[in-house]
Amino acid sequence: MQRLQRDRGVIANPILIGAVTVLVAIVAVFLAYNANNGLPFVPRYTLYVQVRNADQLTFGAEVHTGGALAGHIVGVNPARDAQGQPIAVLKLALNKSMQPLPADSNWRIRLKATIGLKYLDLTVGHSARTLANGATVPITQTSVAVDLDQLLSIYNAPTRKATAQATGGFAYGLAGRGPDLNNAFGAFVPLVRDLTPVMRNLSSKQTDFAGFFHGLERLSSASVPVAQEQAQLYVNLNTTFTALSTIAVPFFQDWIHETPITEQTAINDIPTIRPFVSDTADLFHRLFPGFSTLGQSAPVLAQTEAIGARNLPGTAALNQRLVALAAILENYGQNAVALAGLDRLTLLGQRLTPPLAFLTPAQSVCNYITLSLRNFQSLLQDPVSTGTRLRFNTVAIDDVLGGEAVPSQAPYTTPSTNSQDSHGPLHLDPYPNTAAPGQVHECSAGNEPYSGTRAQIGNPPGNVGTKTENTTRPK
């Protein structure tokens, strides 16, 4: 009985009960305070994540994946990358069930609430290689999202003032245009109907519209270094629009009023003028080679025009005579007899075209006509006491049986028996090639090779080329 009473006395001791209650409350508060960072003696999956800027991430910030809590940040320490630039290293205590994460997992700092609280968002990768406990995630696999607080930071006092002015300008522009807006909304109905398949294509996974926004994000990141230049661009645009505002009324107002009428006129007239536009495009295409030479020819043309401007006053009398001549020629061109003669001349030109086309290469390619005239003139330039004599050289043929010196049934083709060049078998080219149409492109006359042992009748085999002797004007 005494022992039972003694035990009841210990339990009934108010000091001991109060001390136990305080101890239990302290333990409960401690556990509640550290619940977000993990309960004591519970194993965690530890990783270190490098970021360019911790960006308001603090001790105890959450780590989420797919919207679920995956762990907490238990340390934020400064460090430097391989180039010596300052970075931050986040120490993560993740749930043990997350271990191991694929090595290509990505981490992104995002806004949790509008008051500025941030969290670390984990996108699990697909790599077969994993991150061991205590591994470090490189900075190339981390990024920072553009959040609402950063977006709102652009609205400083000047921006807010300019936005208010722009809003007021839009309000003034829309004032009194209610019927026009109603008509526009009615006209949008077919647009919305036709927009449905377009939006369906945009929402398709094959379109990869998300990739478009990722690319847009990278573009925005690339434009950060030139942000100051872009800001200066808007300053310059403000100066430009300020200058234009002085002529907004009535010039811009009239232009806006006339634009629908002009567009309707263009819609009605464009089908009619389409042949003219096509012909104009073809004309400029043909003129392009000439335009490309204007850089070299323009100075020469300018000099020519300057000389012409100085000489033009002195040609007034000549111009008057040319006008009179033009009137006479006009009357002459209307005369029936003259027109008949011109028709015959035209017919003559048409008939002469084929033979001239055949004969022209003899001079333009082979220079034969000029050479012939020069040689004919040179035949009588050998002076003698009584004047001049005909200069020529006899090519002798051996007087043998069957030779050209006696009657023969075939050309003389016997090899030469005389060592002198003036003796040899027959070499004759009665119809040499002159590079005329239908012939071999060569000038064979005068270019035939000579052999004292073999006769050559007609054009030589092969192509002897088109090179002939050049002629010059005598001095």
Cα-based distances in Å from 398 to 405, 414, 417, 422, 450: 7, 9, 8, 10, 17
- Mean pLDDT for all residues in the chain: 80
Q: What are the beta bridge partners of residue 63?
A: 71, 120
For residue 349, pLDDT over 70 is answered with yes
Q: Kindly give the residue spans of alpha helices, DSSP state H, lying in 113-208.
A: 148-152, 157-174, 178-203
Cα-based distances in Å from 294 to 286, 291, 304, 473: 14, 5, 14, 34
Domain locations in the chain as residue ranges: 1-33, 43-152, 335-394+426-475
- Mean pLDDT within 277-302: 88
Q: How far apart are CA 465 and CA 366, in angstroms?
A: 10
Q: Which two tokens stand for residue 269?
A: 């007239």
- Which segment of 16-20, 320-324, 387-391 scores lowest on mean pLDDT? 16-20
Each residue's pLDDT tens digit, 22-75: 666 666 655 555 555 555 556 788 889 888 877 777 777 888 888 788 888 888
pLDDT at residue 184, rounded to an integer: 82
- Which segment of 14-18, 219-223, 377-381 scores lowest on mean pLDDT? 14-18
**C-alpha 132, offset from chain centre:** 49
pLDDT at residue 40, rounded to an integer: 55
Q: Which two tokens stand for residue 91?
A: 């120490």
Long-range contacts of 427-434 (CB under 8 A, 24+ apart): 427/455, 427/456, 427/457, 428/456, 428/457, 428/458, 429/456, 429/457, 429/458, 429/459, 429/460, 430/458, 431/458, 431/459, 432/459, 433/459, 434/361, 434/362, 434/365, 434/366, 434/368
Q: Kindly give the residue spans of alpha helices, DSSP state H, lying in 334-458.
A: 336-364, 368-379
Q: Which two tokens stand for residue 385?
A: 């006491």
Q: Which two tokens stand for residue 8?
A: 């009841």
Whether pTM > 0.85 for this model: the answer is no
Backbone angles phi, psi at 399, to 5 degrees: -85, 80
For residue 197, pLDDT over 80 is answered with yes
Q: Name the CA radius of gyration of the chain, rounded.
A: 52
pLDDT tier at 395 (50, 70, 90 boundaries)?
low
- Mean pLDDT within 461-468: 90
Residues whose CB falls within 8 Å of the CB of residue 118, separated by 6 or more in sequence, listed in order = 55, 56, 57, 61, 109, 110, 111, 112, 147
The three-state secondary structure class of 89 is strand
Q: How far apart are CA 73 and CA 430, in angstroms?
A: 107
For residue 1, pLDDT over 50 is answered with no
Upstream peptide bond of 100 is cis (omega within 30 degrees of 0):
yes
Backbone angles phi, psi at 137, to 5 degrees: -90, 125
For residue 100, pLDDT over 80 is answered with yes
Share of the chain above pLDDT 90, in %: 5
Q: Residue holding tokens 């806004």?
A: 111
For residue 6, pLDDT over 70 is answered with no
Angle at 342 between CA 336 and CA 347, to 5 degrees: 130
